[in-house]
Amino acid sequence: MSKLLVGVDVSLKSHHVHFMKEDGLSVADFSVSNDQSGADTLIKRMLEAAEKSQVSELKVGMEATDQYSWHLAHYLKDQLKGYEPRFQSFIYTLNARKVARFKKGYDSLPKNDRIDAWVIADHLRFGRLPNEMKDAVQYEALQRLTRTRFHFMKEIGRNKTYFLNQLFLKFSGLRQDNPFSNTFGTTSLAVIEELEPETIAEMSIEELVEFLQDKGKNRFENPEELAKYLQKLARSSYRLDKAMQDPVNLSLSVTLSTIQHMESQVKRLDKEIAKLMKGIPQTLTSVKGIGDVFAAGLIAEIGDVSRFNSHHSLAKYAGLVWSQYQSGEYESDDTSRMRTGNKYLRYYLIQAAESIRRHDSEYRSFYNKKYQEVPKHKHKRALVLTARKLVRLVYSLLRTNQLYTPPERRD
């Protein structure tokens, strides 16, 4: 069965295309616009080349550049179905990093669209390709929400770090040793937004206690002790120059408003995710600690679990694998996690692991064991290893569609 290999270098406004035969001979090289008309032109030229070269299999590859390749890949997949069994067609969305590494096998290739399309076609020729793209719009629809949520959560984290850095300028003591359990809690934020350190230092204990009780809705067990400690921090803090006070306060206010707005948008996303999850059969949420959001994040990135032949391959896809360093009789005990894999899947696995360890005795024990094994980076290391353990469970539940049985209920 002869093949026509089609490499497509995608971009915002146009795609560069290269046709190649199995023996590496170039057949055509051209550009098409990144719209439906351009896609129709590409299909027409592919069919003409297939008939002229008498091939019966079309292999089309493009880098998975998210939005820019999405329309073209799905349009080709849909339109080329109509030409079967006359032509068999396979669409591949390739990992850009792997394509770049494949290109390094050639000496001194320049960087331009024409060469990049040729490299993709040649990559198809050599094989070792990922699974063919499947129709999975339900997963991709969910993916739009979970990936947007990922983006917002990362931005919230960055903005909170920026807020805390600004807080040191205004109230250094509160940044160093906050007496509140959560810096972004209601009472803590009221202190930050409404009071200056000098004001706190000069207030009577009775006034400060009344303020804390009002903002905390009388939830503090010992408000007088809290008030005294807050005054101690205020008196030991640096004094900010008067010219800096208003700019710093405005910076804090604007950053906090951004954080709160983003958090409200995350809640909107969570509601929509929960709606979509009602139409997806799954048993991940039978694990205490995995709710609709974490289950959605995992399912959206994994898609059809049958494309992974084991939990090991799923872990590799998530980037939860560790490199090996061995030479002759020597093998290093100190290995690092490979910096590859699906960052979205890895994020939701780690977030789910953090939640599960608080509810499940088996995962809590595993986390605690790993936490005690090393003197540095205890939490981060233990959590990532717990996430790797979770991969096995996620793989099993998606494959079998069985409910999870917690340790306490097992025979």
pLDDT 10s digits, 173-222:
999 998 998 999 999 999 999 999 999 999 999 999 999 999 999 999 89
Greatest CA separation for the chain: 92
d(C-alpha 241, C-alpha 175), whole Å: 18
pLDDT at position 182: 93
Mean pLDDT of 327-331: 50
Contact 249, 163 (CB under 8 A): no
Q: Give the CA count within 13 Å in the CB-facing half-sphere of 75.
A: 15
Contact 93, 10 (CB under 8 A): no
Phi, psi (5° rounding) for residue 368?
-60, -40
Distances (CA, A) of 367 to 363, 390, 392, 405: 6, 11, 15, 19
d(C-alpha 260, C-alpha 370), whole Å: 35
pLDDT in tens, 66-75: 689 999 999 9
pLDDT in tens, 106-161: 888 888 999 999 999 999 999 888 888 876 788 899 999 999 999 999 999 999 99
Distances (CA, A) of 298 to 87, 93, 146, 387: 35, 20, 9, 12
Distances (CA, A) of 240 to 171, 172, 200, 247, 398: 8, 10, 14, 11, 56
pLDDT at position 197: 95
DSSP secondary structure letter of residue 293: H
Beta-carbon neighbour count of residue 244 at 10 Å? 12
Mean pLDDT of 286-312: 95
pLDDT in tens, 153-164: 999 999 999 999
d(C-alpha 4, C-alpha 60), whole Å: 8
